[in-house]
Structure 1
Amino acid sequence: MIISNSTINDIDEIFRLYKIASDYQKAQKKVTVWPDFERGLIESEISENRQWKITINDEVACIWAITFSDEQIWEKRNEDSAVYIHRIATNPDFRGNNFVAKIVEWVKEYARSTGKQYVRLDTTGNNVRLIEHYKNSGFDFLGMFELEDTAGLPGHYSQAPVCLFEINLKD
């Protein structure tokens, strides 16, 4: 298992995994579904070294993105020093490997090395199984919140309340 930055050569695979994740969300019913993401967003994340992947035997097994500011979602809490994780998507050929736990261990080290106090992520809607999964992966569940301003955010943020999770690295 290798964790590394995604490259522009991975972009078709990234979009394939997003499509698979969206289709899976649709099949779950009562779960907020990811919209189609803008290609420019992913290209920017790649060029800024904020799009990551796990590869196993030269195959992309899992992807995610990070950012260091997430003001619209985290509002006042955005003033804290944090790494924010977005859009974890797993290749179905590698399901069951608990990549969230592997990402959490990696991102905790990454956050410490860049002087950040928190590791954070969010999800939309009341997806009880996903909330439990994130809690079991070490996140504190902060609750469900209605966002004040969703303009410019992907569409799923205006469809349901957002669930916020964090790990305080000083605890």
Structure 2
Amino acid sequence: MIIKIIKASENCLHSVVDIINDATLNLNKKGINQWSYPCDAKEVEQDIMMNHVYILVLNDNVVGTFSLKPIEHYAPVDVEPNSKYLYRLAILSAYKGNNLGKEMMEYVCRTARCLGSTIYLDCWAGNKKLRNFYTEAGFEFLGDFPEEDYFISVFKYK
């Protein structure tokens, strides 16, 4: 099994959108409606152009994605200087259970250490499995905060 994590290029747009939409439908089946379906392909394309999107390639197949961008302000909490926001972490449902999410999180944590950055992320507060995943990956739980008509759990990695 050969795993690579690289920055997404423009020709990866459809793969990234497909992965996000697959993950969104999978979340919706569980009653988790944090992401909109279908995802906004133009927004994803802009993030790719800004070099914020990464892909996880397994044996030459794009099966996962995440985005990481600089943040100066983050409404729920005060952020530290040189911080990044981790978002749209998704793996094709057919590849779940292969520790690929763990691979992505280890990559993000290594990147944070190399850059001397603090990483912030959030998820729907009712997703206990994901909350546990982030805690096990070394992220500190900062609390639950209101957003629109639900609560989000906010985490940081330093």
TM-score, scaled to structure 2: 0.87
SS of equivalent residue, structure 1 residue 44: helix
Is 1:165 the counterpart of 2:155 in the alignment? yes
Is the 2:68–2:85 Cα contact (8 Å) retained in structure 1? yes
Question: Paired residue for 1:132?
Answer: 132
Question: Paired residue for 1:68?
Answer: 70
Query: How many residues get paired?
Result: 155
Name stretches of at least 5 consecutive residues in structure 2 with no aligned partner: none
Judging changes above 3 Å, is the alpha-carbon distance between structure 1 residues 72 and 17 closer, same or farther for their aligned structure 2 residues? same
Question: Paired residue for 1:114?
Answer: 115
Q: Provide the rounded CA distance (Å) in 2 between the counterparts of 1:86 and 1:143.
A: 17
Judging changes above 3 Å, is the alpha-carbon distance between structure 1 residues 70 and 132 closer, same or farther for their aligned structure 2 residues? farther
Is the 2:140–2:156 Cα contact (8 Å) retained in structure 1? yes
SS of equivalent residue, structure 1 residue 37: coil
Root-mean-square deviation (Å): 1.8
Shift of 1:64: 0.6
Q: Provide the rounded CA distance (Å) in 2 between the counterparts of 1:56 and 1:73.
A: 35
Question: Paired residue for 2:42?
Answer: 40
Is the 1:70–1:84 Cα contact (8 Å) retained in structure 2? no
Is 1:15 the counterpart of 2:17 in the alignment? yes
**Match for 1:107: what amino acid?**
V
**Match for 1:98: what amino acid?**
N
Is the 1:32–1:125 Cα contact (8 Å) retained in structure 2? no
Question: Paired residue for 2:95?
Answer: 94
Name stretches of at least 5 consecutive residues in structure 1 with no aligned partner: 147-156
Q: Provide the rounded CA distance (Å) in 2 between the counterparts of 1:79 and 1:166.
A: 10
Identity of aligned residues (%): 22
Question: Paired residue for 2:29?
Answer: 27
Shift of 1:74: 4.1
Is the 2:4–2:57 Cα contact (8 Å) retained in structure 1? yes
